Amino acid sequence: MEFGAWPHVTGDLASARKNASAFLDGLQGDRAQLARQHWGATWAGTGDAYCRLADLNINKKEYDEAAEAWLCALTAFEVARRLVADDDPRKADVSAKVEAGLQGIGLSFGHEVETVQIGCGDLGDFLAYYLPAGTPNSRAPAVICVSNEEEKGPTLLGRLLPVVIGRGMSVLVVSHENIAIHARGGSEIVLSHCFDHLSLRSDVDSSRIGIYGDGLSASLATDFAAYDRRIAAAVCDGGIWNWTRSLRSVRWMTSTDGADKDIVSVRRSRLAGLLNCPILVVAGGRGVVSVPEAIKLQAVCMAAHIDVDLVMPQLIRGGLGEEVDNFVSSDDCIFRWLEQKLAPESTQERVVG
């Protein structure tokens, strides 16, 4: 089968994500270069087909089927977005379709994505996006999700909706730019206000709130989890980004090859030890943590009995020198981990797929 050339769509989310994952895993060398030139439009067209199917199902009042078709569309648009070059005008068009898809979810799913205002006192206010877990009469876990440095909140929300819905957890999505613009210490205060917003909601269990930082926001997630001991689980960088920058500065200023290996090991353990919750480090791919550094961190943390897990997305190097990661498999793994860590203690399992 030539992935990306689908004669029809069925609205089956599991199949749509399986095909997207297989397509991304198949990108290699010349195939990846051709994908940049041709397949972006094909995947965008597939997303459009899912949107038409969703509209048809809404007209027939088949709302569950419509919601699933919208989720399939968001997955297809995310694949297209990663294939289209950043300077290609089609990139903005696909992003606009993602935002339209978010509105479609509200029409068919029964409850819309809420735009909420987070008040941060002297640090100002900003808008975030909240999707409730959809479990009435119960308090569900929630995750604060911070987009990477290149994306807005709605883009991340569009990518995460297909993997979050059905897991019984709420998500509050915020843009990296709203968090990272503040001086040192400010980002932690702003994220604490996000936590406060969730903890005051009647549908959220304040003892089971986690944080996920995408891209450079993984460092912000680490800083926040160390600052605010209420966080129950963190998908972050374990302090590696800040430590690596500091180490490079020392090397540059002293013209040496770096600190003693034992000192480095102790430093890694101390950084991770500041976190009062289980952490998951995303290594490789488009993240900020290299695989060797993540493996060293995990070894040190295991010796210190610190709860650290790793996930390593498959990275495909395209023929044009650009990189594409399999967001489908990595997001599934990340939110399966969060689902387990934020579950009631009696049902938690230490399993990462």
More confident residue, 229 or 10: 229
Q: How confident is the model at residue 181 (pLDDT cuts 50, 70, 90)?
A: confident
CATH number of 13-109: 1.20.58
State the Cα–Cα distance between residues 259 and 251, nearest whole angstrom.
8
State the Cα–Cα distance between residues 170 and 134, nearest whole angstrom.
8
Under DSSP, is residue 125 helix (H, G, I), strand (E, B) or coil? strand
The confidence score (pLDDT) of residue 348 equals 54
Q: How confident is the model at residue 244 (pLDDT cuts 50, 70, 90)?
A: low
- Residues 245-258, buried b or exposed e (16+ Cβ, 10 A)? eeeeeeeeeeeeee
The confidence score (pLDDT) of residue 252 equals 42
Any idea which residue has 């409730």 for tokens? Answer: 132
State the Cα–Cα distance between residues 246 and 214, nearest whole angstrom.
21
Q: What pLDDT, in 10s, does the model give residues 56-91?
A: 998 998 988 988 999 999 999 999 988 887 777 788
One-letter amino acid at 121 equals: G
- Residue 70 CA: distances (Å) to CA of 90, 249, 257, 294, 329: 20, 47, 52, 36, 19
Question: Structure tokens of 226?
Answer: 């160390």
CA angle 337, 341, 345 (to 5 degrees): 145
Percent of the chain having pLDDT more than 70?
77
Question: Structure tokens of 296?
Answer: 């060293």
Residue 88 per-residue DSSP state: S
Q: Where are the domains positioned within the chain? A: 13-109, 114-347
Tell me: pLDDT of 4 over 60: no
Mean predicted confidence (pLDDT) in 4-8:
48
Q: What's the mean pLDDT when you consider all of the chain?
A: 81
- Residue 51 CA: distances (Å) to CA of 48, 105, 124: 5, 10, 37
Question: Structure tokens of 100?
Answer: 């339209």
Tell me: pLDDT of 199 over 60: yes
The confidence score (pLDDT) of residue 209 equals 98
State the Cα–Cα distance between residues 19 and 27, nearest whole angstrom.
13
Contacts of 261 (CB under 8 A, 6+ apart): none
Q: Which helix (H) or strand (E) holds 310?
A: strand 308-311
Cβ distance 100 to 94 under 8 Å? no
Tell me: pLDDT of 253 over 60: no
By mean pLDDT, which of 201-210, 227-236, 270-279 is the weakest? 270-279
Tell me whether residue 139 is exposed, middle or buried, using C-beta atoms within 10 angstroms of its C-beta: 0 to 12, 13 to 18, 19 or more: middle
What is the value of pTM for the model shown?
0.86
More confident residue, 39 or 160: 160
The confidence score (pLDDT) of residue 315 equals 54
Tell me: pLDDT of 46 over 60: yes
How many Å separate Cα 233 from the centre of its chain? 14
CATH number of 114-347: 3.40.50.1820
Q: How confident is the model at residue 15 (pLDDT cuts 50, 70, 90)?
A: very high
The confidence score (pLDDT) of residue 353 equals 45
Percent of the chain having pLDDT more than 90?
43
The confidence score (pLDDT) of residue 264 equals 55
Mean predicted confidence (pLDDT) in 92-111:
77
Cβ distance 116 to 130 under 8 Å? yes
Q: What pLDDT, in 10s, does the model give residues 282-333?
A: 887 666 677 888 888 888 788 777 788 988 876 555 444 456 788 999 999 9
More confident residue, 217 or 111: 217
- Residue 58 CA: distances (Å) to CA of 17, 51, 63, 66, 107: 22, 11, 6, 6, 8
- Cα dihedral 10, 14, 17, 19, rounded to 10, equals -60
State the Cα–Cα distance between residues 131 and 114, nearest whole angstrom.
6
Q: What pLDDT, in 10s, does the model give residues 122-139?
A: 888 999 999 998 776 789
Tell me: pLDDT of 345 over 80: no
| Alpha-helix residue ranges (DSSP H) falling in the chain | 13-25, 29-34, 40-59, 63-83, 90-109, 153-164, 176-180, 186-199, 217-227, 240-254, 261-273, 291-303, 327-341
